[in-house]
Chain A
Amino acid sequence: MTNVPVMVDAKVDTQPIPLGGVAAFESIKQLFTNGGGWYNVNSAHPFENPTPLTNFLEMLAIIVVPMAQVFMFGLLVGNTKHAWTLFAVMLGLFMLSFAGAWYFEAQPNPVTGNYASNMEGKEQRIGVMNSTLWATACTAIDNGSVNSMHDSYMPLAGMMPMWNIIVGEMLFGGIGCGMYCMLFHVLITVFIAGLMIGRTPEYLGKKLDAWVATWAVIGVLIPNAAILLPSALAVMVPQGLSSLGNNGPHGFSEILYAFGEGANNNGSAFAGLNANTPFYNISIGIVIFIGRFIPIIAALAIVGRLASKKTVEASAGTLPTHGWTFGLTLTGVITVVAALTFFPALCLGPMVEHGLMLLGRTF
């Protein structure tokens, strides 16, 4: 014998339409890399994003200020050549992630055997290109608003937004934080390049010392640890696993994405994970705090030290911090640091899922 509810018929002839101060909310959250949304589905909702023009304007709003902050940095330090080199590195990596996500998302789904691109979790009116462009823009730029559900992407397409996040939110990145997180990688690059070719590590006319190198490494590694350690904890305790919407590697991707966006202050969601539980609310809250203030204190500690030093004139022994050589070395350092830290985790998540998908197993 089982206790079941008694059901009765009910006629539905009205529907509540949620309203509010959406337009003002929308412009500030898009321009200053806040993200989220007035409505749960963010810009997939026809009130947050009613027309193709608003879709374009909201997407443009994501990149305008983060791009401009790089040039502002160049003007304030008095070296715009260096700023344009950083700009090119960020733009290049961002475009690569977009191309990857678009390519994998436009493929036919091998499991369902349909010959169209993957439209699950997307608005018909927005389509694949605008969904993937938004998804990679809002993760490369720490914005975190969505107009499609990243959870429904093909495994490797979903890995692209995840990669943008774990690379450290600095492919333009958030307002302010994208640029000073990039600074840590720039300083590490100057150090490594200096060691490799035997030049003095100098940045913008200042000699770099052990204090600077230590804080730069802290600024890079602690947020990364704040992604990996809580993710490991979440897959070990029942409170972490009970929130999952999917099993297997896809469930792991959901957890990794949740802590990744927390530590890098992104704020987009892979969805599928019910994060409104005491375990996830408290752990992600703490991770967000660490991810915000550790880079801030590291950046201020570094520049506080450099401001107190004397400026040295650039000499033949100075490694130039602009041009192709520096840009490519910086790209290499960014990729290697992120890949070394997250390759095992990405293997357990999206890569395994892609392999199993080709064998016909889905999650």
Chain B
Amino acid sequence: MKWNEIVQIVLFFGLGIALTPPVGRFMAKVFKGEKTFLHPILSPVEKLVYRLTGVDPNEEMTWLNYFWAVLLFATVGFAADMAIFMTQKWLPMNPQHLDNCTWHLAFMQAWSFTCNADWQSYAGETTMSYFSQIFAIMVHQFLSGASGLAVLVAVARALSRASVKTIGNFWTDLTRGLLYFVIPISAVWSIPLVWQGVPQTFQPYQNASVMEPYTTQVQKTDDKGNNVTTNIQVVVSTPKLDAAGKPVMANGVAVMVDVP
């Protein structure tokens, strides 16, 4: 245990606990529909979203309708994601010319990202194009987080009510969460990361010169790109067997014979 490790642990838990009341209070304000410091800029956007989608923000849903809305939202996202993963070869923003995903990988990844799991059974840099990473994966990192938060808000709101059948409107909770909380806080948090040198670019992969060039062995190919192979003699040692199929022993050690 070094002193700097203790400092880091204390800072980690300390800052987490210290940030809980202000962040929690801000979230509660947003979901109650109260005015925050972001409202002067963002409330026209919120109204525009409702007008474009035809959502009445004050319409209330029963618990079952709320569930269908959550499920419908995820299923539409799933279908869109699966389509993007399976056609990324023909879509723009693919400077590395990465191939389409297999159907089973696309199925798995589409559920994984729309359900906030984000388990990846592939290597990001060699499988997904920039288009897939941004429009299929990153979009759902916002949407799945916000829809989980919306469900919790509906749960809390319902627990504070009495003698009513409705628990709120999923589309309103989703829009408010995204607009006033999820998008602003992630935008702010990415700035120090860019400052510290995390890449943020649409350039294709760069070829860097290696400081110490080295020689490695690769498989030889002919003019058509096929691998060249050759036949060689391989000799393997195996235990010598007697007529009954048991190894022949000498001084407690199996006798070995060479087999070509």
Residues of A within 8 A of B (CB): 1-40, 47-51, 53-54, 56-61, 63-65, 67-78, 87, 91, 95, 129-130, 133, 142, 144, 174-177, 179-180, 183, 203-206, 258, 261-262, 265-269, 275-278, 280-282, 284-286, 288-289, 291-293, 296-297, 299-301, 303-311
Contacts and interface: CB of A to CB of B under 8 A. Distances in A.
A25 B202 CA distance: 13
A116 to B, nearest CB: 14
A307 B162 contact: yes
B9 A276 contact: no
Contacts of A284: 108, 112, 119, 121
B145 A67 contact: no
A2 B117 contact: no
Contacts of A47: 197-199
Interface stretch (B42-50, B153-161, B239-247, B250-258): B153-161
A45 B73 CA distance: 33
Contact of A71 (B20, B149, B159): B20
A266 B117 contact: yes
B118 A40 contact: no
B119 A308 contact: no
Interface string B126-148: 10001001100110011011111
A180 B151 CA distance: 8
B218 A7 contact: yes
Contact of A12 (B21, B23, B216): B216
B118 A35 contact: yes
Nearest to A301: B63
B117 A18 contact: no
Given A15-B207, A288-B117, 20 more contacts: A5-B228, A5-B229, A6-B219, A8-B219, A12-B210, A20-B201, A26-B198, A32-B145, A34-B118, A36-B124, A53-B192, A57-B189, A69-B24, A72-B152, A77-B156, A91-B13, A95-B13, A144-B117, A300-B66, A303-B154
Contacts of B104: 277-278, 281-282
A253 B245 CA distance: 38
Interface string B179-220: 000100111011011101111111111111110011111111
24 contacts: A2-B232, A3-B230, A4-B230, A7-B220, A12-B216, A17-B207, A24-B200, A28-B186, A30-B189, A34-B113, A36-B120, A50-B196, A50-B197, A65-B23, A68-B24, A70-B24, A76-B32, A130-B8, A204-B160, A300-B155, A303-B155, A306-B159, A307-B63, A307-B159
A307 B161 contact: yes
A32 B61 CA distance: 26
Contact of B121 (A11, A48, A276, A305): A276
Contact of B117 (A70, A76, A292): A292
A179 B156 CA distance: 10
A77 B71 CA distance: 25
A68 B12 CA distance: 15
Contacts of A69: 24, 27, 149, 152
B116 A57 contact: no
Nearest to B71: A293
Contacts of B66: 300
A225 B104 CA distance: 23
A31 B167 contact: no
B199 A281 contact: no
Q: For chain A, what secondary structure do more than half of its interface residues adopt (helix, strand, loop), or is it mixed?
A: helix
Contacts of A130: 5, 8
A90 to B, nearest CB: 11
Contact of A8 (B182, B196, B218, B230): B218
Given A29-B141, A61-B189, A300-B167, A144 B200 contact: no
Contacts of A48: 198
A275 B12 contact: no
A10 B216 CA distance: 5
Contacts of A258: 119
Contacts of B52: none
Interface in B72-89: 74
A267 B155 contact: no
Contact of B200 (A23, A299, A303, A304): A23
B206 A17 contact: yes
Contact of B111 (A285, A296, A311): A285
B155 A4 contact: no
B241 to A, nearest CB: 23
Contacts of B201: 19-21
Contacts of A4: 229-232
B56 interface: no
B196 A54 contact: yes
Contact of A20 (B23, B111, B133, B167): B133
A119 B158 CA distance: 49
A50 B117 contact: no
A40 B186 contact: no
B227 interface: yes
Contact of A53 (B165, B196, B216, B232): B196
B90 interface: no
A4 B229 CA distance: 5
A174 B163 contact: no
Nearest to B116: A265
Contacts of B199: 19-23, 47
